[in-house]
Chain A
Amino acid sequence: MKTSQEQHVCGSTVVQTINAPLPLVWSILRRFDNPKTFKHFVKTCKLRSGDGGEGSVREVTVVSDLPASFSLERLDELDDESHVMVISIIGGDHRLVNYQSKTTVFVAAEEEKTVVVESYVVDVPEGNTEEETTLFADTIVGCNLRSLAKLSEKMMELT
């Protein structure tokens, strides 16, 4: 039986294929200290602790007119061999409580293409449904991954 303390959790997965090699994509994605290059909802980012490696905590301020102004995020895992990054949101003034995302990068079946998979779990805020919560988070994650694709493809043109 579900008790009143039991929080309703939901999750989703967003996939983005990028026409750029994996090392290039990963080199952009893995910069925990500099998410602004492709996360366009980020206005500023500074490390509160750590050097950008595992365990580091960053404080992100968010651009105007979004339903948030800042977010406190911790890098739980950064694996440069299996290309896995795990980030938890540990604070801030937004409604994404207990949000944790795992991003994995693969070489696509087609050579020279990369697949980025971001899966997340998050509490469903009071007053919203699971569907609404995943739609909101998918919109943000989807926009970020499309920006990552655009940037990677543009950088590849320059090389």
Chain B
Amino acid sequence: MAEICYEVVTDACPSSVYESTPAHSRRRPRFQTVMHEDWEKNCKRSKQEALATRYSSIPRSSREDFSDQNVDVSSPRYGVSSVCGRRREMEDAVAIHPSFSSPKNSEFPQHYFGVYDGHGCSHVAARCRERLHKLVQEELSSDMEDEEEWKTTMERSFTRMDKEVVSWGDSVVTANCKCDLQTPACDSVGSTAVVSVITPDKIVVANCGDSRAVLCRNGKPVPLSTDHKPDRPDELDRIEGAGGRVIYWDCPRVLGVLAMSRAIGDNYLKPYVSCEPEVTITDRRDDDCLILASDGLWDVVSNETACSVARMCLRGGGRRQDNEDPAISDKACTEASVLLTKLALARNSSDNVSVVVIDLRR
């Protein structure tokens, strides 16, 4: 899939965001955002759709009229920013699939967001971007899954994804993969996966690795995932219980090699590096937004700071104004994601940075 690289020009960053930044880091680095064509397609809505969503605040009983016309009245607002940063290769991938699942008899669709941070090479993350949402879709069994059903769905999807990247390595290699064609290297390549499915009532998050999902609620961060670091006490117990070791080499690493305890792929470190996701299910309330991002952001930006930046971009996080043009909150989400990315680079993040900001205001 072709990648389009272009320079993003945005408003100057408010100086307060940089208060804790050393003076010499204030100069904003110039960078290119990598955006895939399908993201642009997702962002361009038809006029009819835009017109319909203008009325998304009308009473529920009247909204059914729009459903009858097959107009998507609950399209999510979101923004994406994904940059290579200081590392030479781009190994992050982002997948966004509005209305990816419309179960029978369900009044409202569900929306899928995923951030995948590859290591060793990019092809496992790229494969997750192409396939994981389809596996989740296949595993969904009913329109109103309960908590246990969501956990089963996500665990089965992640396990299938992990098996796919292992067996896929034995057959075909895509042209954009940097590994030699004759020797697919899936055994020692992997990816994180932080996935969120947003329904009208709930936020489901499934996480494997050290990317992260943070809910911004009343301006305060609520972590919806916990990073899988090898020295997390329960992860350390699990690894050693399986006969593995966590060695502090330059930081805690499984067998001294990998700095995360769960990942899709990395077959050579199984069973110590597990692909089983941790799943959280959160009821929706008056939430501001959800932030999914790779550790290129979270290593240098706290949950609190990320929420403050996002909330500020979403106009103080109040209820969305009646009849607010959906393009406005799309732009706000994009600005939030771009601003967070630039903040990470300004704070000398040395990794790829990928950020998705999803407007959850009703």
Contacts and interface: CB of A to CB of B under 8 A. Distances in A.
Interface of A: 36-38, 40-41, 63-67, 95, 125, 127-128, 132, 135-136, 139-140, 142-143, 146-147, 150-151, 154
B87 interface: yes
A77 B85 CA distance: 41
A65 B259 contact: yes
Contacts, number: 79
B255 A67 contact: no
B256 A135 contact: yes
Contacts of A147: 183, 185, 187-188
Contacts of B118: 64
Q: Which 4 A-B pairs have the closest CB atoms?
A: A136-B256, A65-B119, A40-B185, A139-B255
Contact of A64 (B91, B179, B250): B91
Given A132-B256, A140-B257, A37 B188 contact: no
Contacts of A142: 268
B266 to A, nearest CB: 10
Contacts of A38: 183
A128 B249 contact: yes
A13 B141 CA distance: 50
A95 B259 CA distance: 16
A128 B309 CA distance: 41
A132 B180 contact: no
B257 A66 contact: yes
Nearest to A131: B245
A37 B268 contact: no
A128 B259 CA distance: 16
A135 B255 CA distance: 7
B194 to A, nearest CB: 16
